[in-house]
Amino acid sequence: METVDSSLTVSEVNRRIKAKLQEAPEFKNFWVRGEISNFSQTNSSGHMYFSLKDTTSVIKCAFFSFQSKNYRGTPLRNGMEILVYGSVSVYEPGGYYSITVQKIEELGEGDILLKIEKLKQALAEKGIFDPSHKRPLPKFPKRLGIVTSPKGAAVEDIIRIATDLNPSIQILVSPCLVQGDGAETSIIEAIKEINDPKWEVDVIIAGRGGGSFEDLMAFNQESVVMAYYHSRIPIISAVGHEIDRVLTDLAADATTPTPTAAAKLAIPNVSDTLIRLDELEDRLRSALVGVIRLGKEKWTGLINRVVFQNPKSMIEPRENHLEEIMTRISLLGKNYLVRKQSDFQKFDSFTLTWKSYLERIQNKFKLAEQRLDHFSPLGTLKRGYSVLRNEKKEVISSIHQIKEKENLEVFLFDGKLQVEVKEKK
């Protein structure tokens, strides 16, 4: 056994590994096939960095600008399957190795991305992503449910933002794994648990913070997508990513690029809401004042009309017309009698008989005159009758048209009264 004095420093170990790997001929100028993930490119230098992966392993790659400027193929992107030609290099301070790429040949789409795309199409055909299935989020939730890792920054961000927006919000966390072995089952069980009616949750935020393409794979699994789809409670997908969308985004009722944005979407700002309510109250008060003022103006205009100030003005023209008719009838009758009397004067023998007949005719005319006077509106009012109307100016003819406490108008021969109904019998 070697003594402590013979131990190596970390730098020495990395230096020896670098020497072995970079000097070995089998790690120089070779071709390797894989699928691109975690692709990025610096704006200033133009260097490209990505990972090359297959079903079980991943290796980092660096495609520096002095080499990448010669690449003329399809722009590199995640999920693209390529052939890389280069050599292994070791970054000694960081203790990791990568492939320094010299050239690239494209092959097509990677198997994983193709599988996700096929699953996406199959689920879309079943209507899983149909907008008609998506439910609106509650405007003022009382209890927020969170489905994520209890150790990540995502849950802390959601809780902090939610409580800032609404200090009285109740928060319930259903913890789960968000990557690695068992993440798929853990997410499904957490969503199922938070949907239990006993928790009285109004809206759910389910997701995680940012991560690599591989880290987000749990949210591209069919069973997890269906758990989002079958959630009884409106659910927001909040998986931290900037470019690629995971399938749970499409199945959820709403989606945001980060958990922080999800908290802002789910929880209204109480301060802003109170300000809007105050504004609405002011607008409503102003509107009511305007309606009342307009109503008063209309009422004043109505009660100032002549017909309400002097109801007799409606009757007097008709009364005059009736008197004119009676006068004409009387004159016609008298003229008729005079003519007949002149005719009968030729026959002395019938003078008395016709005189009696004419008297009867005259009596009938007088009776007709009395009846006409009897049935005139003014004559009716003179005999002690009155006309009763409600506030809609409808004439009341039955007790069933009247309600207790209702204000009525009573028109008499020489004026009108305003009365209130105390009791119906």
Percent of the chain with pLDDT over 70: 91
Tell me, what's the pLDDT at 241? 62
Instruction: State the Cα–Cα distance between residues 65 and 82, nearest whole angstrom.
Output: 18
Q: Where are the domains of the chain?
A: 7-109, 140-268
Q: What is the pLDDT of residues 345-362, one digit of tens each?
A: 666 666 677 778 888 888
Average pLDDT over residues 62-91: 89
Question: Taking all residues of the chain, what is their mean pLDDT, rounded to a whole number?
Answer: 85
Q: Judging by DSSP bridges, how do beta strands 48-53 and 30-41 pair with one another?
A: antiparallel
Answer yes or no: are the C-beta atoms of 152 and 260 closer than 8 Å. Answer: no
Is the per-residue pLDDT at 59 higher than 70?
yes
Domain 7-109 is found in CATH 2.40.50.140: yes
Using DSSP, how many helices (H) and how many strands (E) does the chain show?
Answer: 13, 13
Instruction: State the Cα–Cα distance between residues 153 and 209, nearest whole angstrom.
Output: 7
Hey, do 7-109 and 140-268 end up sharing a CATH topology, with the first three levels equal?
Answer: no
| Token reading at 288 | 């009511």
Look up residue 236 and give its amino acid.
Answer: I
Instruction: State the Cα–Cα distance between residues 419 and 412, nearest whole angstrom.
Output: 13
Is the per-residue pLDDT at 109 higher than 70?
no
Tell me, what's the pLDDT at 215? 80
Is the per-residue pLDDT at 126 higher than 70?
yes
Average pLDDT over residues 14-31: 88
Answer yes or no: are the C-beta atoms of 146 and 158 closer than 8 Å. Answer: yes
Is the per-residue pLDDT at 279 higher than 70?
yes
Longest dimension (CA), the chain: 178
Average pLDDT over residues 111-115: 73
Angle between helices 259-266 and 153-165 (to 10 degrees): 30
Is the per-residue pLDDT at 242 higher than 70?
no
| Token reading at 154 | 């995502």
How does DSSP classify residue 201? -
Is the per-residue pLDDT at 308 higher than 80?
no
Backbone φ and ψ of 411, nearest 5°: -95, 120
Backbone φ and ψ of 377, nearest 5°: -55, -40
Tell me, what's the pLDDT at 1? 47
Average pLDDT over residues 46-66: 91
Answer yes or no: are the C-beta atoms of 166 and 268 closer than 8 Å. Answer: yes
Per-residue confidence band for 44, with pLDDT thresholds at 50, 70 and 90: confident
| Token reading at 18 | 């670098």
Write out the E strands in 42-160.
48-53, 58-63, 80-91, 96-109, 143-148
Tell me, what's the pLDDT at 5? 61
Q: What is the pLDDT of residues 155-168, one digit of tens each?
A: 999 999 999 999 99
Answer yes or no: are the C-beta atoms of 82 and 76 closer than 8 Å. Answer: yes
Tokens 């109505």 belong to residue? 302
H or E stretch at 30: strand 30-41
Is the per-residue pLDDT at 6 higher than 60?
yes
> Dihedral angle at the C-alpha atoms of 344, 346, 349, 354, nearest 10 degrees?
0
Q: What is the pLDDT of residues 194-226, one digit of tens each?
A: 999 999 999 999 999 877 777 888 999 999 999
How does DSSP classify residue 391? T
The superfamily (CATH) of domain 140-268 is Lumazine/riboflavin synthase (3.40.50.960)
Class of residue 172 by CB neighbours under 10 A (exposed 0-12, middle 13-18, buried 19+): middle
Per-residue confidence band for 250, with pLDDT thresholds at 50, 70 and 90: very high
Q: Going by C-beta distance under 8 Å and a sequence separation of 6 or more, which residues neighbour residue 191?
A: 147, 174, 204, 206, 227, 228, 231, 235
Tell me, what's the pLDDT at 378? 67
14-18, 153-157, 260-264, 308-312: least confidently modelled range: 308-312
Q: What is the pLDDT of residues 127-155, one digit of tens each?
A: 999 999 999 999 999 999 999 999 888 89
> Which of 180, 165, 119 is CA-nearest to residue 260?
165
Answer yes or no: are the C-beta atoms of 201 and 233 closer than 8 Å. Answer: yes
> Which of 187, 262, 258 is CA-nearest to residue 217?
187
Is the per-residue pLDDT at 303 higher than 90?
no
In the chain, the N- to C-terminal Cα span, in Å, equals 119
Report which of residues 271 and 36 the model is more confident about: 36
Instruction: State the Cα–Cα distance between residues 220 and 206, nearest whole angstrom.
Output: 14
Average pLDDT over residues 306-314: 68
60-74, 161-175, 179-193: least confidently modelled range: 60-74
116-120, 287-291, 377-381, 387-391: least confidently modelled range: 377-381
276-280, 321-325, 356-360, 379-383: least confidently modelled range: 379-383
Average pLDDT over residues 320-341: 81
